[in-house]
């Protein structure tokens, strides 16, 4: 059993990242099972959020952040400089009395975090180095997966170097490495020469709190939606195709009630303008756009009161990467449309949740998959609802804490 869990969420700075809901789930679960947590967030975390979650502002850079613009060695420069910064930021753990009896948990790890941990641990005597637990959510996005997604080609040097540096300062039995995608776990185990386990998502489930509201909102035409596209509105999540997808859908189903979340008003204006010109203002009036972030409660209400969730993601970017929106949709019993040849496709094929996959990243193929889903939406909804509880029983903070070895509690 752990003495204390030192939780490093260096990507926690607003409600829009999965770090927020995951931190809430981990802290809430740890409190329930009597596991003391000392939590840290990005240094720009809002004061009220830090107080609510019980975390301290401490870390300079979120995972995957880029600062260097050097045309030849930007990746290497950031790796070296940011790992130095991460190691320096870890000094706050020294101040808080972290010992060899404690566990340090980094739920969103990349080579910068691994090398930073190695540098910090090297500054401590061997008998004062804590156990380390890290989880990977995605690979180097420049790697090229093979068709079966069990092997990749690319440059592994920085990833390998980070693992080797950590191995120098921490015995293998005190290091736990995991990934949220099975194929990624297998690939990383070869790069690290260390076992890499597959772990589920630590989702903060609000199902019990919003179950009645969800049922009412789905039945209320003014509140519920037939289709939702939510989460961070980025190019890799289909931003460039969304207007043309919606035009095709509204041309075929003019009464389709659609919810869309975007990050900026300019994106909302662009979508409305294109749809209005293509299918008319009457069809466009069925599109409700939310600009900006949502609280976790509002996000859940919108997702769970929708009949179908569309994830129009670029397949190449999600071949070895999971999706928090997908994981939450399945747990709230919402059918999905997701890319083929992805972790999401694997989950559906294994009998989790319900939905349809699109084969090609094109507005035509994605719109067709959505229309195919609506042909059998009643069946998909029944299937999704029937499988939701089993999904939630696996993808939760209790399971994750038990699997990483800091809790002996049952989920």
The pLDDT tens digits of the residues spanning 24-56 come to 999 999 999 999 999 999 999 999 999 999 999
Helix (H) or strand (E) holding 61: none
Q: What is the mean pLDDT of residues 262-271?
A: 94
| Res. 213 pLDDT band, cuts 50 70 90 | low
Beta bridge partners of 178: 135, 197
Q: In Å, what is the CA distance from 395 to each residue of 199, 330, 347?
A: 9, 10, 12
Most distant CA pair in the chain: distance in Å?
70
Backbone angles phi, psi at 132, to 5 degrees: -125, 135
Q: What is the pLDDT of residue 2?
A: 55
Question: DSSP label at 139?
Answer: -
Q: Is the C-alpha dihedral spanning 40, 111, 77, 237 positive or negative?
A: negative
Q: What is the pLDDT of residue 216?
A: 52
Cα–Cα distance between 22 and 396 in angstroms, integer? 9
Contact criterion met (CB below 8 Å) for 178 and 189: no
Helix (H) or strand (E) holding 226: strand 225-229
296 or 345, higher pLDDT: 345
Q: What is the mean pLDDT of residues 199-206?
A: 96
Distance of CA 144 to the CA centre of its chain: 21
Question: DSSP label at 315?
Answer: G
Contact criterion met (CB below 8 Å) for 214 and 332: yes
Distance of CA 47 to the CA centre of its chain: 23
Beta bridge partners of 6: 38, 104
Q: What is the mean pLDDT of residues 269-279?
A: 90
Cα–Cα distance between 311 and 329 in angstroms, integer? 10
Residue 368 above 90 pLDDT? yes
Q: What is the pLDDT of residue 276?
A: 86
Residue 57 above 90 pLDDT? yes
Average pLDDT, the chain: 93
| Res. 410 pLDDT band, cuts 50 70 90 | very low
pTM for this prediction: 0.94
Q: What is the pLDDT of residue 284?
A: 77
Contact criterion met (CB below 8 Å) for 144 and 153: yes
Residue 158 above 90 pLDDT? yes
Residue 1 above 60 pLDDT? no
Domains of the chain: 5-204+396-403 (3.40.50.2000), 207-394 (3.40.50.2000)
Cα–Cα distance between 246 and 25 in angstroms, integer? 34
First to last CA, the chain: 16
Q: What is the pLDDT of residue 209?
A: 53
Cα–Cα distance between 87 and 27 in angstroms, integer? 24
Cα–Cα distance between 241 and 103 in angstroms, integer? 43
Q: Is 258 helix (H, G, I), strand (E, B) or coil?
A: strand
Per-residue pLDDT tens digits for 287-341: 999 999 898 889 999 999 999 999 999 999 999 999 999 999 999 999 999 999 9
Q: Please name the residue that has the structure tokens 């929708």.
A: 306
Q: What is the pLDDT of residue 411?
A: 37
Q: What is the pLDDT of residue 222?
A: 59
Share of the chain above pLDDT 90, in %: 87
Cα–Cα distance between 67 and 89 in angstroms, integer? 17
Helix intervals (H) in 293-342: 296-304, 324-331
Spatial neighbors of 73 by CB under 8 A, at least 6 apart, are none
Cα–Cα distance between 295 and 293 in angstroms, integer? 7
Q: Is 22 helix (H, G, I), strand (E, B) or coil?
A: helix
Per-residue pLDDT tens digits for 94-136: 999 999 999 999 999 999 999 999 999 999 999 999 999 999 9
Lookup: tokens for 62: 């979120």
Query: How buried is residue 350: exposed, middle or buried, by Cβ count under 10 Å (0-12/13-18/19+)?
Result: exposed
Lookup: tokens for 236: 């890799």
Q: What is the mean pLDDT of residues 236-253?
A: 96
Q: What is the pLDDT of residue 278?
A: 84
Q: What is the mean pLDDT of residues 141-162?
A: 96
What is the length of the chain?
A: 411
Helix intervals (H) in 356-407: 363-375, 377-394, 397-403
Q: What is the mean pLDDT of residues 71-97?
A: 97
Cα–Cα distance between 287 and 274 in angstroms, integer? 12
Helix (H) or strand (E) holding 63: none
Tell me which residue of 217, 165, 159, 218 sits closest to 189, measured CA to CA: 159
Lookup: tokens for 369: 């998959």
Spatial neighbors of 326 by CB under 8 A, at least 6 apart, are 309, 311, 336, 338, 344, 347
Q: What is the pLDDT of residue 10?
A: 98
Distance of CA 192 to the CA centre of its chain: 23
């Amino acid at each position: 059993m752990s003495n204390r869990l030192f939780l490093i969420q260096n990507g926690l700075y607003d409600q829009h990242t999965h770090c927020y809901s995951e931190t809430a789930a981990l802290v809430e679960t740890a409190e329930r099972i009597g596991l003391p947590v000392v939590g840290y967030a990005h240094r720009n975390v809002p004061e009220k959020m830090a107080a609510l979650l019980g975390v301290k502002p401490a870390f300079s850079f979120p995972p995957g952040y880029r600062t260097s613009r050097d045309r030849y060695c930007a990746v290497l420069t950031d790796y070296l400089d940011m790992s130095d910064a991460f190691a320096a930021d870890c000094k706050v753990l020294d101040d808080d009395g972290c010992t060899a009896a404690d566990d340090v948990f980094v739920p969103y790890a990349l080579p910068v975090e691994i090398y930073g941990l190695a540098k910090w641990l090297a500054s401590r005597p061997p008998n004062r180095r804590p156990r380390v637990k890290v989880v990977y959510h995605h690979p180097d996005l420049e790697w090229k997966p093979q068709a079966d997604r069990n092997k990749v080609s690319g440059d592994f040097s920085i990833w390998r170097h980070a693992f080797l540096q950590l191995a120098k300062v921490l015995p293998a039995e005190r290091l736990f490495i995991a990934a949220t995608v099975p194929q990624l776990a297998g690939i990383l185990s070869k790069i690290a020469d260390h076992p890499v386990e597959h772990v589920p998502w630590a989702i903060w489930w609000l199902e019990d709190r919003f179950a009645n509201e969800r049922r009412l909102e789905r039945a209320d035409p003014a509140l519920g939606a037939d289709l939702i596209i939510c989460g961070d509105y980025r190019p890799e999540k289909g931003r460039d195709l969304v207007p043309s997808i919606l035009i095709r859908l509204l041309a075929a189903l003019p009464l389709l009630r659609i919810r869309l979340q975007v990050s900026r008003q300019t994106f909302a204006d662009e979508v409305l303008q294109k749809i209005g010109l293509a299918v008319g203002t009457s069809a466009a009036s069925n599109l409700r756009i939310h600009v900006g972030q949502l609280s976790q409660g509002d996000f859940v209400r919108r997702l769970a009161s929708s009949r179908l969730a569309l994830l129009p993601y670029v397949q190449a970017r999600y071949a070895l990467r999971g999706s928090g929106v997908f994981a939450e949709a399945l747990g709230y019993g919402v059918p999905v449309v997701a890319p083929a040849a992805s972790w999401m496709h694997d989950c559906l094929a294994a009998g989790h949740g319900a939905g349809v996959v699109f084969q090609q990243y094109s507005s035509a193929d994605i719109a067709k998959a959505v229309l195919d889903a609506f042909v059998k939406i009643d069946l998909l909804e029944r299937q999704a609802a029937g499988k939701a509880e089993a999904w939630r029983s696996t993808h939760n903070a209790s399971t994750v804490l038990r699997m990483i070895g800091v809790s002996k509690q049952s989920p």
